[in-house]
Structure 1
């Protein structure tokens, strides 16, 4: 029998894997961090947000929200060896955000797989607008904030998943 997933442990695994990926693969070092569990009242999404839904023993959304300078720096490092046409740049930046969340979340779940429940993930969905999500109707939020010289990002765990659609808007009752 597996133990239920501990949200704080999961957020910690995501944060560690995010820091390692940005440092090792992109050469971006986070110099500041913070986290909040349960007392988050509003999520402020940044200019590019990659979202995945988790299903199975856990039903929630994971959102990686990047401010423009950080996703631009990540994109430049991630595609340094590629020749990307300017008219394809916006789509390529969004693909980069999706690739980043896929890699990091997959690795974090692998870290926790030995004692945790099975969790299935959806392909990432990309939102390209800054917006806020207020907490109500029994929603639970947990967030980590990471800061680098290049910019800031947030990792959000949003649940339960059945309260939201893929744009992180509340579903009507």
Structure 2
């Protein structure tokens, strides 16, 4: 799992700093196999199949996602009544870009990697780790807040909302 974590860190950092102009102020590279995943109010989850076989959850603190949405939509007029729709769409597109770039970094022994469509969870919640699962996390800090990236596997144990399947 270390290669996908390294790729996610590198690609997220590049996207934030180079594409969005948001500097990182630090990070916790990995908190190891954690028992609980706290999710902020907006989380985007993508399944990566093939040799990797994990869900990657990008969870955004509200102020950071608001700033990224503002920058992401700077060239268009966003009606106030549709702000939340654009915020959600921005989060999905940001994660699509990052994960799409990650696929070029990952081994594809025996076939291509598959990606699921992104799923959005719009509520703060906590996901508890069942004994047969692995949760590994990293947190990237900016002046606007944090984005946490969690790796949850294997995919067969969860649905795309990170509910444990018995």
- 8 A contact 2:51–2:109 mirrored in 1: no
Cα distance in 1, alignment partners of residues 164 and 110 from structure 2? 28
Alignment: residue pair count: 166
- 8 A contact 2:46–2:116 mirrored in 1: yes
Change (3 A) 1:43 1:117: farther
For structure 1, list consecutive stretches of 5 or more residues without a partner in the other structure: 1-6
TM superposition shift of 1:119: 1.2
Cα distance in 1, alignment partners of residues 134 and 65 from structure 2? 26
Structure 2 residue corresponding to 1:52, chosen from 38, 46, 52? 46
Q: For residue 151 of structure 2, give the secondary structure of its aligned residue in structure 1.
A: strand
Change (3 A) 1:84 1:112: same
Q: Stretches of 4+ moved more than 6 A in 1?
A: none
Change (3 A) 1:13 1:67: same
- 8 A contact 2:51–2:108 mirrored in 1: no
Change (3 A) 1:23 1:113: same
TM superposition shift of 1:57: 2.7
What is the aligned partner in structure 1 of residue 149 from structure 2? 155
Q: TM-score, normalised by structure 2?
A: 0.94
Q: CA RMSD in A?
A: 1.6
What is the aligned partner in structure 2 of residue 17 from structure 1? 11
